[in-house]
Chain A
Amino acid sequence: MARVLFDHVWKRFGEVAALKDFHLEVEDKEFLVLVGPSGCGKSTALRLLAGLERITEGSIYIGDQVINDVPPKDRDIAMVFQSYALYPHMTIRDNIGFGLKLRKIPKDEIQRRIAEAAQILGVENLLDRKPGQLSGGQRQRIAVARAIVREPRVFLLDEPLSNLDAKLRVNTRAEISKLHKRLGTTFIYVTHDQTEAMTMATRIAVMDAGVIQQVGTPQDLYDHPANVFVAGFIGSPAMNFFTARVAEEDGALVLDGGSFKVKTPLDRVEEFKEFVGRELLFGIRPENIHDAEFVPRGVSTAPVEVQVDVTELMGNEVFLHMLAGETKLLARVDPRTELSAGDTVEVMMDLERMHVFDPESKEVLRSGAGVSAEDDE
């Protein structure tokens, strides 16, 4: 069993707290991704678990064992470093077998395991080379092979894809997912790239400034972000935000953003009624703003007048950079759209997918997608 528990862990470097009351449980066999901007403490969390840094306060468990004072080598953990950390003076075979050799595993067993790991990662033909003779992608594979050969209880991966080019990264992402399924071991993966987190994780923990912002499945985080940070961090392109006052006008509600207004349809009035008179932070994802010509069926739309600033054709979709008064909005619309830069038009916001946040605490008041509208406050 390789459940990992960070039990209210603090890590301070002098005056600076890199992790603040970090509490996270990672289930056995889970693929958990720690994601956040650089400096958010995600790598620190990983290094504490690996034993490369000392915990200031709190405990870390692997299984039922507290490992605060267990030296790194006895934690039964393997780590893939961002730099891969291959030993340049050893052949690939020796690199992969290094840990096994130190653990005094019989020679033929070492060779068998090296061969097996090499076969899983497709690097059999590289075994007698040195790291300097390999490409970045090959080195990355060797680093993974070196980790899996020890059959550890927990795998740690610290931004393992960040040194690969974009295309290779997409392929490797899928391969790491496959590897996780094949090995059935707990994976903890650190990245600043929300796409990696979304595509690979069974659960994601979003971090900022040493604090966990939200933990959940990728879809959950995407649909129901707990606060402004998570809403803005997860999803690409990022969610649009605007501040507006909810006001009553002729029996309908409008979201008055000062320089622009979003009119809510009469059948949705009830949902927003509780916010009347308050100034709130609204969030809406680019794909939930539609060209009026191509609004999907069943969407309750709220029109807003905008000026199209720039259009970007992506092939399967068009990004519209728009100005609603002084507020910038980005929409991801049907490629058949005929809108072009300079047009002043009404676009449609999908009210059901509108997120509402408290402008002070930045916490969510009403989550989008409608499903959990009852969870307000």
Chain B
Amino acid sequence: MADRTVLSRSEEVPMTPVQRLMRQLSRGPLHAAIILVCIMWMTPTAGLFVSSFRTRSEIATTGWWTALVPPWQFTLENYEHVLTARGMGQSFINSVMISVPATLLTILIAALAAYAFSWMEFRGRELFFLLVVALLVVPIQLTLIPVLRMYANLGITGTFPAVWLAHTAYGLPFAVFLLRNFFAALPKDLLESAFLEGASHFTAFTRIVLPLSVPALAALGIFQFLWLWNDLLVALVYLGGFRDVAPMTVTISSLVSSFGSEWHLLTSAAFVSMMLPLIVFFALQKYFVEGILAGAVKG
């Protein structure tokens, strides 16, 4: 009995029923707490999800939980309406058109900068890095007006490149910071060995550093993508709310203001906008968790 505490969780040691019960009981409070937090977080989303399949009149008259018991009266009408009549289809495409290039651009530039900050010797390296980190504390609201003026002078307001550039610039400080710390933690010997074998900085970057940093790059990619996907402010300011370029966040917010009572449309629109992030997250969640740990525990 005494050695029970010594055994690690993963070890497959036959246990007596009493031991198993003891173990369950000792973990009980932890499990209960986790489940409770999950329920608290999930309930509103679940309510939203159920509501998005209900008709306008039902939403207005009864609570979403009443729909869970038969007779079920779910409908796809809301989605149909939102995707076609309200322009959510176009907004979805716009959101992709904004988020994907801006994410890729951020990762590309940040990775190049992070490599230079960690593996290239140049004067003022530490100072520049410090400056980049310092930019993390600058609120983006501070930049909105000057940048918008500049864009107006250049005549690129209301275009995708304007938002790409803005998003990239806002995302870079954190991205460079995250990647530099990851790159710098790579074993020095690996890079030196590559240089001795004939690698240039570019080769070392593409053949050694990038492949070894996939978890960090993926984590950064997910973070950045989610931020951009959920962004309302930047898109609203630089795109000016034009229908044909508006991402979903802008469209949804206009649903709220102009169709305040149309809850049935709002719920389904919200779900349409959540779909892609959910897919991205579940597809890359392995890297996501690894990437978060990677910062703290080397490897």
Residues of A within 8 A of B (CB): 50-52, 71-73, 75, 77-79, 81-85, 87-89, 98-99, 102-103, 146, 150
CB of B190, distance to nearest CB on chain A (Å): 5
The number of chain B residues touching the other chain, given as a range, is: 10 to 19
The stretch from B93-101, B194-202, B237-245, B269-277 touching chain A is B194-202
Residue contact A73 to B195, C-beta cutoff 8 Å: yes
Residue contact B212 to A79, C-beta cutoff 8 Å: no
Quick one: given A83-B187, A89-B211, A89-B212, are A98 and B192 in contact (CB under 8 Å)?
A: no
Residue contact B189 to A85, C-beta cutoff 8 Å: yes
In angstroms, Cα B22 to Cα A354, docked, is 72
B193 within 8 A of A: yes
Quick one: given A83-B187, A87-B208, A89-B212, are A52 and B192 in contact (CB under 8 Å)?
A: yes
Closest 10 pairs (CB-CB, A-B): A99-B197, A85-B189, A85-B193, A102-B198, A73-B198, A89-B211, A81-B189, A83-B189, A72-B195, A72-B196
Residue contact A102 to B192, C-beta cutoff 8 Å: no
B254 within 8 A of A: no
CB of B35, distance to nearest CB on chain A (Å): 36
B143 within 8 A of A: no
Nearest residue (CB) in B for A94 is B207
Contact of B197 among A51, A52, A88, A150 (CB under 8 A): A150
CB of A353, distance to nearest CB on chain B (Å): 43
B203 within 8 A of A: yes
Further 11 A-B residue pairs, CB within 8 A, beyond A75-B196, A77-B196: A51-B196, A72-B192, A73-B198, A79-B196, A82-B189, A85-B189, A85-B192, A87-B212, A98-B194, A98-B207, A99-B196
- Enumerate chain B residues within 8 angstroms of A146, measured Cβ to Cβ: 197
Residue contact A102 to B196, C-beta cutoff 8 Å: no
Q: Can you name 23 A-B pairs with beta carbons within 8 Å?
A: A50-B192, A51-B196, A52-B196, A73-B196, A73-B197, A73-B199, A81-B192, A82-B189, A83-B187, A84-B189, A85-B187, A85-B192, A85-B193, A87-B194, A87-B208, A98-B194, A98-B197, A98-B207, A99-B196, A99-B197, A102-B198, A102-B203, A150-B197
Nearest residue (CB) in A for B214 is A89
